[in-house]
Amino acid sequence: MSTNFIFIYGTLLSSLNHPMHNVLEKYAELEGEGHIQAKLYDLGRYPGVVMSGNPSDRVKGEIYKISDGEKLFSLLDRYEGCSDNFPEPHQYLRRVVQVQADDGTMIDAWVYLYNWGSAGHTYIESGDYLEYVERGGR
């Protein structure tokens, strides 16, 4: 499956001013906000998302329209540790998931899912990493 959208939920959120956000903005444009049906965990210096079967589990994030997927993913896959240069199992997997935009539209978008298991990590119940960081959660 392929799509021209990516869902961002963690350190690459626009208001967190991470240097890799500049890379994201070079190859993708912010379309709006939305959420996915998943659980958000604090992994230390960054968060991880694990998909959930519970509709009340929501992770908030930003939806970007990708202009150059080949360049974007060559850089982001390396940043997220899931390129061929990293040993398996990768910490993150890039997958296509359904995102519900704030206007109610359903969009297929790429997202980096945490792949090493959530045991021992703090569950961020709000599903909002920006709010969590602003409260001093990391």
HEC profile for 98-133?
Answer: EEEECCCCEEEEEEEEECCCCCCCEECCCCCHHHHH
Predicted local confidence at residue 1, as pLDDT: 61
d(CA 23, CA 129): 20
Q: What is the pLDDT of residue 137?
A: 83
**Tokens encoding 107:** 């969009």
Q: Residue 138 above 90 pLDDT? A: no
What domains does the chain contain, in order, with CATH numbers? 5-134 (3.10.490.10)
Mean of pLDDT over the chain: 96
The single-letter code of the amino acid at 22 is N
pLDDT-based confidence at residue 2 (cuts at 50, 70, 90):
confident
pLDDT digits (tens, 9 = 90+) for 38-59: 999 999 999 999 999 999 999 9
